[in-house]
Homo-oligomer: A and B are copies of this chain.
Amino acid sequence: MKEHSELGGVAPARTVTLEDVARLAGLSPMTVSRAINKPQVVRPATVARVMAAIQATGYIPNLLAGGLASRRTRLIAVVVPQINNSMFVDTVQAISDRLAARGYQMLLCVTGYSSDNEAETVNTILSRRPDGMVLTGIHHHAELRKTLLNAALPLVEIWDLTPTPLDMLVGFSHEKIGQRIGEYCLQRGYRSLGLVWAGDRRAQLRRRALAEVLQGQPGCRLQGVNAPVPTSLGAGRQGLSQLLAAGQRFDAIVCSSDTLAQGVIMEAQARGLRVPEDLAVIGFGDLAFAEHNQPAITTVAIDRLKMGELAATLLADKIEGQAPAEAVVDLGFTLRVRESG
Contact = CB atoms under 8 A, between A and B. Distances in A.
Nearest to A110: B96
A124 interface: yes
Interface string A289-324: 101111000000000000000000000001000000
A243 interface: no
B292 A127 contact: no
Interface in A94-137: 96-97, 100, 105-110, 123-129
Given A89-B83, A128-B63, A155 B8 contact: yes
A336 to B, nearest CB: 15
Interface in A251-296: 259, 262-263, 266, 269-270, 288-289, 291-294
Given A105-B128, A269-B294, A58 B150 contact: yes
A224 interface: no
B164 A4 contact: yes
Nearest to A7: B167
A300 B110 CA distance: 28
Given A96-B108, A165-B3, A129 B8 contact: no
Contacts of A3: 163-165
A232 interface: yes
Contacts of A67: 64
A340 interface: no
Nearest to A232: B288
A189 to B, nearest CB: 27
Contacts of A44: none
Nearest to A121: B100
A328 interface: yes
Interface string A141-159: 0000001111111110000
B83 A168 contact: no
A270 B90 CA distance: 29
Contacts of A4: 164-169, 327-328
Contact of A292 (B105, B148, B263): B263
Interface string A53-75: 00000101111110110000101
A340 to B, nearest CB: 13
A123 B126 CA distance: 24
A274 to B, nearest CB: 14
A84 interface: yes
B93 A110 contact: yes
A299 to B, nearest CB: 14
Contacts of A84: 86, 89-90, 93
10 contacts: A3-B165, A4-B165, A58-B150, A60-B123, A60-B126, A60-B127, A83-B83, A233-B288, A269-B294, A270-B294
Interface of A: 3-4, 6-12, 58, 60-65, 67-68, 73, 75, 82-84, 86, 89-90, 92-93, 96-97, 100, 105-110, 123-129, 147-155, 163-169, 232-234, 237, 259, 262-263, 266, 269-270, 288-289, 291-294, 318, 327-328
Given A60-B151, A83-B93, A84-B93, 10 more contacts: A7-B149, A12-B152, A60-B123, A75-B128, A96-B109, A105-B107, A105-B124, A233-B289, A233-B292, A269-B294
